[in-house]
Amino acid sequence: MKIFSALSGLLFLSSIIACAQGENQVKEGDVPITVSTKYTHEVVVPDITNPWGMDFLPDGSILITEKSGKLIHFKDGNQTEISGAPEVSNRGQGGLLDIMLHPDYEKNGWIYMTYSSPEGEEKGANTALMRAKLNGTSLTNQEVLYKASPNTTKGQHFGSRIVFDKENHVYFSAGERGERDINPQDITRDNGKIYRLNDDGSIPADNPFVNEANAKKAIWSYGHRNPQGLTINPQTGEIWEQEHGPQGGDEINIIKKGANFGWPVITYGINYSGTKITDETSRPGMEQPVYYWLPSIAPSGMTFVTSDKYPELKGNLLNGSLKFLYLEADYLEGKKVVKREKLLDGVGRVRNVKQAPDGYVYLGIEGVGIVKLMTK
């Protein structure tokens, strides 16, 4: 019993030391972050435990994914649970994840969702992409477009976000499922990837690895850890992504066809124990981030601001922070972050960030619900 107590004490002490090391990570020449007091928020949809994703229907109502597996329709002040949502493995970081309407939703009615799917021969789950149509209070015409494999019982790193390009290709992310030394650098395996599909789930003929033997043909980029932010730069059409690093080394990247983003061969982070993962932060043939965070902020959800509702933010990038409980504004000159601000400091764990058709930015806050960003 004394030995057990001693070991428990050592493990606890080690965890405290590791956390302290993480908090004390310093990035040389970093862009300092300041706190803005110009913004406040208004709760729009209350009492949602983990609002993972959201999108806005043409009538202004909101579809919200709750990690537990519920799909919620918020309209005229009322929350209605939509039946027909996919079966999810609500374990660890898994659950019902992102949601996005097809760009031509008003013509075709398709809604896309990512989730941790238990479908498959193996125990556990892996990331899947499906589409469906909304008929009253039910989903219909459900189609699974992609299911990563194999399943694993590990509970971490599912991703996942969805975005469409101007040609209506659908992109989605899947984390490396806790298999950093197996999945991210191997294009014959799923996970640690950004995928690109035609909107019906077929493989585009110009995907980078369609002619590679045994490659997963849907892969667009690889070498990712756990991407939980995807958005389109409205000025360039480029896909911007953010992903969780280990302890330190969260990244903002610009996604490129066939590109290798390096994880875990190169990283600016370290193990949670405080030990090194690698001595390399760069290598030929591997992409560098636009920006990386030390210490980690645990980023989730990102969007470019295009609205005149926020003149100072227009043209710049917003990223949610789960760890430090704020919304970060990253001001850009071209592809370089030149200024950083904390907005809504202390608001809670920001899981999702999205600009709506009404021009306002909405946040999914764990334990709160959906809030609207407002100027004071």
Q: Can 169 be counted among the known catalytic residues?
A: no
Q: How does pLDDT run across 124-135, given as a tens digit for each residue?
A: 999 999 999 999
Tell me the two tokens of residue 141.
């015409």
Which whole number is the average pLDDT over 6-27?
Answer: 52
46, burial (CB in 10 Å: exposed 0-12, middle 13-18, buried 19+): exposed
Mean pLDDT of 345-374: 98
Element (H, E) at 65: strand 62-66
- Region 63-84: mean pLDDT is 98
Task: Tell me the domain boundaries of the chain.
Answer: 52-299
Asked whether the predicted pLDDT for residue 7 surpasses 60, the reply is: no
Taking residues 158-176, report their average pLDDT. 98
CATH class name, domain 52-299? mainly beta
% of the chain residues with pLDDT over 90: 93
Q: In terms of DSSP bridges, do strands 336-343 and 33-35 run parallel, antiparallel, or are they unpaired?
A: parallel
- Residue 22: predicted pLDDT: 57
pLDDT digits (tens, 9 = 90+) for 87-145: 999 999 999 999 999 999 999 999 999 999 999 999 999 999 999 999 999 999 999 99
Q: What is the mean pLDDT of the chain?
A: 94
Tell me the per-residue pLDDT of 32-66, one tens digit each, with 9 for 90 and over. 999 999 999 999 999 999 999 999 999 999 999 99
pTM above 0.85, yes or no: yes
Stretch 259-276: mean pLDDT, rounded? 97
- State mean pLDDT over 316-345: 98
DSSP 184-246: TT-TTS-SSEEEEE-TTSPPPTT-TTTTSTT--TTEEEE--SEEEEEEE-TTT-PEEEEEE-S
Number of Cβ within 10 Å of residue 332's Cβ equals: 18
How much is the pLDDT for 8? 40
Of the candidates 73, 102, 157, 169, the residue annotated as catalytic is 157
pLDDT at 164 over 80: yes
Query: What stretch of H or E contains 138?
Result: strand 138-147
Residue 4 has pLDDT above 50, yes or no: no
Chain centre distance of CA 18: 25
* DSSP structure class, residue 114: E
Q: What is the DSSP string of 268-307?
A: S-B-TTS--S-S-S--TTSPPPSEEESS---EEEEEE---
